[in-house]
Chain A
Amino acid sequence: MNMAQRVLMKGNEALAQAAIDAGCRCFFGYPITPQTELAAYMAKQMPKVGGVYLQAESEIAAINMVQGAAAAGVRAMTSSSSPGISLKTEGISYMCGSDLPALIVNVQRGGPGLGGIQPSQADYWQATKAPGHGDLHILVFTPSSVQEMVDLVGKAFDLADKYRMPAMILADGLLGQMMEPVEIGGKEVPVPAAKPWAACGHRNQREHNIVNSLYLTASELEDLVKKRFERYREIEAKEPLCEAYLVDDADIVVAAYGAAARIAKAAVRTARERGIRAGLLRPVTVWPFPKKDFQAAARHASRFLCVEMNMGQMVDDVRLAVECSKPVGFFGTTGGVIPTPAQVLEQIENLSGGAR
């Protein structure tokens, strides 16, 4: 057991160390700004714990290596940034279709296309609606501090194993690059749950395990997908996570995740100082989306304001969650531009009838 340490870490490093602490021993990746420190950290540290770090020839190769390792029952992981995640979507879909657990990190940058290298949240739709082709979901966690990155990595691996599906940490360049003090380590490396389905050699002791996503009989595939969706419904009931900040009596509820939530929180604090009853709902999972928290807030709030580093993506989920019972406004910046607390405050003040 390693001692718990209080250290200063970059988000990207913290994600890597937390994965090692969670028992991940296989990392396959390919460098891309702004997530490269994660892979670089793994390259240095994995050999020290007897793990595998492999820089693949491409993102597509890396995700397929993750698929292979996951099929063999190993805790495996890959990381990239937006354009690289697009390349991985085929492998993610295959893993969903084969019921394989693994962790994928997306340190988002501006898009579409090669886009830019500054922080963004423009892959929300991709992560929550279509991380690959077919009827599928993956678990999506949205940390908003370096400490929360540490705390969510182990949880993401555990839930991925429990529900046999890929999990994603949806971060952004700001969270990946910034430094914050964290408490890390100090726990036994967990023994992952038994995986009796793993294709890791039957040694003539059992039947073959087959890991596969190809089903040529329509009814057989339909049955399988329907069973998988029963699992998704269970996850939607049990696993949503959300932080509520000053929401209990809030008239204006700001919705934001990740780095945008840090900015929104600063704005909400100032709005309160100016006598505006503002609050913040910060989804920590965006799939499953914390619908109940939004429905509860809709009972007393007069309106919502969604703040994102994109052109308006999560705002759709907020509107669906409150079933359009209250107006849901949007404020965002995109392309790598980061909103300021003052800009968000101005939006809150306008909603509450102008500056006071």
Chain B
Amino acid sequence: MITIVCGHYGSGKTNFALNLALRRRAGGGEMTLVDLDIVNPYFRSSDYARFLEEKGVRLIAPGTAGTTLDAPALTPGIGAAIGGGGDVIIDAGGDDAGAAALGRFAGEICARGYEMLYVVNRFRIQTAAPADAAALLGEIEAASGLKATAIVNNSHLSGLTAPADILDGLAYAKAVAGLTGLPLFASTVPAALAGAPELAGYDLFPVEILVKLPWN
């Protein structure tokens, strides 16, 4: 299975992709995470190479990632992973600019079959309106040559996230799903909040906060 994680930059794609990779790896089988971000040199999957290796997740990253080189080059290992047999999660770059690199592999990805998860966060200012989030998806699909198959609601306010914000995000995600005609794949909740009584009865996807700042 090929799973693509795409979305607005800053929507939490990388943190979600890391969590999804770890969860699926824990379920058995090989797991490869491809860092396909050729836009942003900061806060990306390849910063977690050693951590992923310890957890048994194979990482494929551009040769320049983490080197301070600003060179948007793709490594041949990406094509091999996509063409191989194992499970692959692709952490795409933000917006249409980041998704453009997917277009290079669109033929191979389509040939193998894929799911493309569109990550949204109701608290990101440029996609705070469901219509803006839906419009951005159109741009990502046009740039990548691929179609999203489901929405991932990753609405949060970082360290200030409260249960009410999670519920607020659910309504938003339903609106985005309605506008795009896509099902909701998952709605995330920071693992520390997962047991909150306000959230009892909701089917949420707990995520560990793996993408951290140096002082956290």
B125 partner, pick from A13, A110, A117, A340, beta carbons under 8 A: A13
- Say whether B158 contacts A340, CB under 8 Å: no
A341 partner, pick from B10, B43, B70, B215, beta carbons under 8 A: B215
- Say whether B43 contacts A7, CB under 8 Å: no
B9 within 8 A of A: yes
Q: Tell me the complex Cα distance, A263–B41, Å.
A: 21
Main SS class of interface, B: loop
A181 within 8 A of B: yes
Indicate whether A263 sits within 8 Å of B40 (C-beta atoms), given known contacts A13-B125, A180-B158, A181-B158.
Answer: no
**Segment at the interface with B among A160-168, A170-178, A230-238:** A170-178
A184 partner, pick from B10, B69, B125, B158, beta carbons under 8 A: B125
User: Which residue from chain A places its CB closest to the CB of B67 in the assembled complex?
Assistant: A116
B160 partner, pick from A5, A44, A181, A263, beta carbons under 8 A: A181
Min distance, Cβ A6 to any Cβ of chain B, angstroms:
7
B13 within 8 A of A: no
A89 within 8 A of B: no
User: Which residue from chain A places its CB closest to the CB of B128 in the assembled complex?
Assistant: A7
B contact residues around A13 at 8 Å (CB): 10, 125-126
B157 within 8 A of A: yes
A contact residues around B156 at 8 Å (CB): 8
- Say whether B123 contacts A33, CB under 8 Å: no
B contact residues around A339 at 8 Å (CB): 214
Indicate whether A7 sits within 8 Å of B124 (C-beta atoms), given known contacts A262-B215, A338-B214.
Answer: yes
Q: Which of the listed residues A6, A44, A181 has the most CB atoms from chain B within 10 Å of its own CB?
A: A181
Q: Tell me the complex Cα distance, A184–B125, Å.
A: 10
A88 within 8 A of B: no
Q: Tell me the complex Cα distance, A90–B86, Å.
A: 56
A314 within 8 A of B: no
Contact residues, B120-156 vs A (CB, 8 A): 121, 123-126, 128, 156
- Say whether A9 contacts B125, CB under 8 Å: yes
A321 within 8 A of B: no
- Say whether A336 contacts B158, CB under 8 Å: no
Interface string of B36-65 (1 = CB under 8 A from A): 000011110000000000000000000000
A34 within 8 A of B: yes
Indicate whether A178 sits within 8 Å of B128 (C-beta atoms), given known contacts A265-B215, A338-B214, A341-B214.
Answer: no
- Say whether B215 contacts A37, CB under 8 Å: no
- Say whether B157 contacts A6, CB under 8 Å: yes
B213 within 8 A of A: yes
B159 within 8 A of A: yes
Min distance, Cβ A347 to any Cβ of chain B, angstroms:
15
Indicate whether A179 sits within 8 Å of B10 (C-beta atoms), given known contacts A8-B123, A8-B124, A17-B125.
Answer: yes
Interface string of B61-81 (1 = CB under 8 A from A): 000000011100000000000
Indicate whether A177 sits within 8 Å of B70 (C-beta atoms), given known contacts A5-B125, A37-B9, A262-B213.
Answer: no
- Say whether B68 contacts A263, CB under 8 Å: no
- Say whether B123 contacts A117, CB under 8 Å: no
Q: Tell me the complex Cα distance, A33–B157, Å.
A: 25
User: Which residue from chain B places its CB closest to the CB of A114 in the assembled complex?
Assistant: B70
A contact residues around B9 at 8 Å (CB): 10, 37
Q: Tell me the complex Cα distance, A6–B213, Å.
A: 20
Interface string of B103-131 (1 = CB under 8 A from A): 00000000000000000010111101000
- Say whether B123 contacts A118, CB under 8 Å: no
Contact residues, A169-198 vs B (CB, 8 A): 173-174, 177-181, 184
Q: Tell me the complex Cα distance, A41–B160, Å.
A: 24
B-contacting residues of A (Cβ < 8 Å)? 5-10, 13, 17, 33-34, 37, 41, 44, 110, 116-118, 173-174, 177-181, 184, 259, 262-263, 265-266, 336, 338-341
Smallest CB-CB A-B distances: 4 pairs: A116-B68, A177-B42, A266-B215, A181-B157
A-contacting residues of B (Cβ < 8 Å)? 9-10, 40-43, 68-70, 121, 123-126, 128, 156-160, 213-215
Q: A8-B158, A33-B70 are known; give 16 further A-B pairs, CB within 8 A.
A: A7-B157, A8-B123, A8-B124, A9-B124, A10-B10, A13-B125, A17-B125, A33-B41, A110-B68, A117-B41, A174-B42, A174-B214, A178-B43, A178-B213, A265-B215, A341-B214
